[in-house]
Structure formats: C-alpha cells, structure tokens
Structure 1
Amino acid sequence: MPNFKIVPSSQYKNNSEKNDVVNNIISYILRPSKIPHNITGGIGVSLTSASDVIKQFKQVKKSFRKTRGIPLQHFIVSFSEGEEKLYSLRQFQSIGYQIAEYFNGEYQIIFALHEDSKHLHLHFAVNTVNFRTGKKMVWNETSFYSLKNFIETYTLTTYF
C-alpha cells in the first residue's frame, strides 16, 4: 500500500516575499535532477516550466486577492519496492493524475515522480485558492483523512 504523507502546512505560512513558498516548493517538485524521465502532470496549469507554473499559481491568488496564509498544500505518495516493480513509469503518471482528480478540477495541482531516492514517490502541490470560485481551501484533519483514504482505496483497488 502506498505511503501518504502531508508536509505540514505550518512550515508554509507565507506573509513575506523573502520566503517565497510557492517558488520554493514548485521548483523543488519540478527539479530536473529529481525527474529524469519527466513523469509530471497537472490540472489547471500549463506545465511548460517551473517558473511558468509558479506564475500561474500566483496569478490565481492575486486575481482573487488571496495572497496571505498557507499558499499551497504539499503531499507525498511513496511506493514500496514491490509496488514499484509492478508498474511502468507511465502507470505512475496515471496514478498521479487520478490522485490530482480528487480535487475535482477546482484547484491548480501539479505532481512529479521523483526517482532520486531508494523508492519512487510522487510529490504534489495544490494551490489553496480555488481557481473557479476564489474560495480558500479548507484543510483540516477530516480533509487529511479523506484524501488519505481516497489514495489508499484508489491505489489498492485500481493498481495494487
């Protein structure tokens, strides 16, 4: 079963330009050295480059005047060696899109399969501003467990 981990949002409070969380996290997720096979994807964004994705996330926030607070949610789905051997890299991309669709196409989301460590893992970044309504994402314990359950149920029934 995949391991699901949220990177704590308390690390991402962004009320100043000197600590540009959107830039730092998206640049990290899309760092070429981590994604040699370029297994990436996104919803609500054009994945031309990390800098373009950063601009797109920030534009939605600026358009709705929602530039304060937690700018994005960052989570990781990692796979065991046994799970890794069952599927091709492109199938992991499909898993990434299925998880991204959990957000119903209402939030910008990107993901990338990192191949630079012992186990393959998907990093996700979700803009906390709904690009259709401008409402901020409500993220709490219930949200966490709902997403965790979706990931575990989806990947177990569909892929593993």
Structure 2
Amino acid sequence: MNTIVKDIYVKSCVFSDVIEMHAYLSDPLKIKDKSNIEGLGFFSDNYLDEFYAIKAANQQMNTTMFRQITISISPVGNTCTDKEYMKIGKEIAEYYYKKGYQIIWYLHKDTPRHHLHLLLNSVNFRTGKIFKQSLKGLNRFKVHCNHILHEHNLEQIQMSVEDMLDITPHELSEGFEIFEIFDEVIADNATVFEELFDEKNTSDDEYYSAYDLTNLGMTTCPSTVYYTSATYEETIIPEPKSTLQEGNTMDYTIEKKEVPALKTSSLPSEVLENTCLVIDASKNVNFTVPSNCDEDKLKDIINSVEPIPEHDRATNAKIGIASIAELQKRGIDLPVYVDTSTNINIEFDDVMSSDIFDTTFTEK
C-alpha cells in the first residue's frame, strides 16, 4: 500500500469558498480535536481573517483563492500518533511557507487510513503574486516529502508527479469527496489485493501471514436524507447563461473557453420559501414502559441505546456542506441544518390514569 499525494485544483474566485473549504477540513467529526489543526504564516489562530488580510492588502480578491493538497501516508509500518502526524504535516508545510505562502494543515481521523490536508493561500505574503507551480516545482515538493517520510521510517511517494496533480477544474458544488481521494485509495487497495491474488497462485498460504488485511482503506456509510416536508409544488429555476472557465494556476494552463453551464433541476417550493433546509438524519427510539417501572432498570434501558456512529455523523455533515454548495450553485443562499441527534422518547402506558393533570399550576 502506497503513500498517496494529490494536488487538487478548484475553481474558486470568491472568499466564501475559502470559508467553506476551511469549515469542511476543520469539521470536529473529522479532526476529533482542535490540536489537529495548525498553521504557518499567521500571528494568531484567526486563520481566515489573516488569509483575507493578505489577499485584500495585495488587491487579489478576484483570483484563485487556494490550493488544496491531500496526503494519505501508507499504513505499512505506520504507527504514528496524532502528534507525530501533525509534526510531519508541519515539516511538509514548511516547503511552501518558506516560499512565502500561508498554509494550514489538518489531520483527518474519520477514516481507517488517517490523512493530512494542506490548505494554501494562493497569494504570496512577500510578493503579492498568485501561486504558480510547474511540474518541476511539484517534483521538488515530492522530493521534500520523501526526505521527511524517510526520516520517520514511512513509505515514500512512489507515484509519478503527473499522477500527483489533478488539473481538472473542480468546483465546490461537486461536493468534498474529491479532496478525500477515495478513488485513489480504493485503486491502491485493489492493486494490493491483485498482487496478493497473483502471488497466491504461485505460492502457498504462508505468504498471507505477513499481511494485515483488516484496515485497507477509507469507507463511508450510506445515510437516509430527506426533506422535512413531503409535499411540494415544482418551481422552475431559470437556467444560467454559459460561464467562463477559469484558467488553472499551474504553468501549463489550459486555454480559457466557453463551457455550457450545468442544467438545474427543480427544487421543492418550501426550500425557496423558507429560511433554511433541514436534512433529517436523526435516530429516534421509542419506549413504552409502565409508570411503576424500576428507576434503575429504566436508566439501564436508556443507557443501552447506541447513538449514531461518528462515521455516519461525519458522512451526514459532508452531505450538509455539499447541499449548501449545490444550493449556492443554483443561486439560492440558504443555511442547511443536518439533524444527527439520537432521540429517546419514553411513554408511560398508564399516563392517562395518573393525576398529572390534576396538579396545581406553578411558574416552576
């Protein structure tokens, strides 16, 4: 299993994209602890304010906002603690910081294969120029990373520089799965299985004893998402005119050209009329118990209820953020609330025969 690095290009010309990106990368369900976010090139922990200040001071508010690099270190021989991951993240991030770029790194722990994300301010705080990097520059970054991985006795980057770079112009409206490089990790896992299968055909079962196949990659769990209101009238949203494709900030940019805008489908009318969209992914457990139920037994019943697993909550959070981006793409600025609560509802079977309704009303 290999160490995978991906520089993913996103068309982002408004600062709200930086805010969305940071919100996703710093999601508490992913980082687990605030200590798993650090930055270089900042005077305080107000990373977004200082990102903005550098852009505003250099009058670069309508250009590419950031670069995002995902680093998934091979689990082979990897026993890194959170502090070691963050130390590696800092050592890797210093490559761009020394060149004059603010950079934040995040440790994500919501998948079996823990991984790092680097968020780079596209404006150089020394020169005020926009970030550009050639293939040679990316190769120097690869060499820099490999020196660090070698010092920590970890698998080095074997993939080519071309494979490390994704120059397809992505948009945040696509969702955030592209930054988690699920496809690359799955492909890497498939290669491992393929090699094991090929080797199995020419050797005995002892070959497998050296491999741990219990933790081979990232997984996501499906969740049910639905609007809180089941009935709605169709509302037709006018299709926007074609938009101008932003050029990549790599040296070998693609010529700008007109591309047809995506067609937008109908949205429920309550989404357009109300002030928010609610995605209900909650878990509801209903109990009916006799009113004379033993108190300790009732507590045991309540405590036996398993809350929604963290990986499900993380998936639902991503769906919420992706929904915001999708709505904004359609010209609708609405907050999205994702309910991932675990609710326990208790009903006493003889409540109607109790004297609860006969009690005297008090303010308390």
- TM-score range (shorter-chain normalised) is 0.7 to 0.9
Q: Within 2, Cα distance between the matches of 1:113 and 1:83?
A: 19
> Where does 1:2-151 land on structure 2 (aligned, <5 Å)?
2-7=3-8, 9=9, 11-14=10-13, 16=14, 20-37=16-33, 38-46=35-43, 48=45, 52-85=46-79, 87-103=80-96, 104=98, 106-151=100-145
Q: Verify the 8 A CA contact 1:106 1:130 in the aligned structure 2.
A: yes
Q: Within 2, Cα distance between the matches of 1:13 and 1:88?
A: 34
- Structure (1/2) with the larger helix percentage: 1
Q: Verify the 8 A CA contact 1:93 1:113 in the aligned structure 2.
A: yes
Name the SS of the counterpart of 2:102 in structure 1: strand
Q: Verify the 8 A CA contact 2:12 2:66 in the aligned structure 1.
A: no
Q: Within 1, Cα distance between the matches of 2:20 and 2:42?
A: 17
- Cα deviations by residue, 1:13-69 (Å, 9 ceiling, x for unpaired): 31x56xx22111111111111111332211012563xxx322211110010001222
Q: Within 1, Cα distance between the matches of 2:7 and 2:120?
A: 12
TM-score, with structure 1 as normaliser: 0.83
Give the paired residue count. Answer: 150
Q: Verify the 8 A CA contact 2:67 2:119 in the aligned structure 1.
A: yes
> Once superposed, what is the RMSD of the aligned Cα atoms?
1.9
Q: Within 1, Cα distance between the matches of 2:77 and 2:105?
A: 19
Where in structure 2 are there 5+ consecutive unaligned residues?
154-364
Where in structure 1 are there 5+ consecutive unaligned residues?
none
Q: Which has the larger radius of gyration?
A: 2
Name the SS of the counterpart of 1:81 in structure 2: coil
**CA deviation after TM superposition for structure 1 residue 149, in Å:** 2.6
- Cα deviations by residue, 1:48-103 (Å, 9 ceiling, x for unpaired): 3xxx3222111100100012221111001112323432x22111111011011112
- Cα deviations by residue, 1:90-121 (Å, 9 ceiling, x for unpaired): 11111011011112062110001000012110
Q: Within 1, Cα distance between the matches of 2:88 and 2:115?
A: 11
Q: Verify the 8 A CA contact 1:12 1:21 in the aligned structure 2.
A: no
Q: Verify the 8 A CA contact 1:2 1:152 in the aligned structure 2.
A: no
Partner letter of residue 140 of structure 1?
Answer: S
**Higher RCO (C-alpha 8 Å, min separation 6):** 1
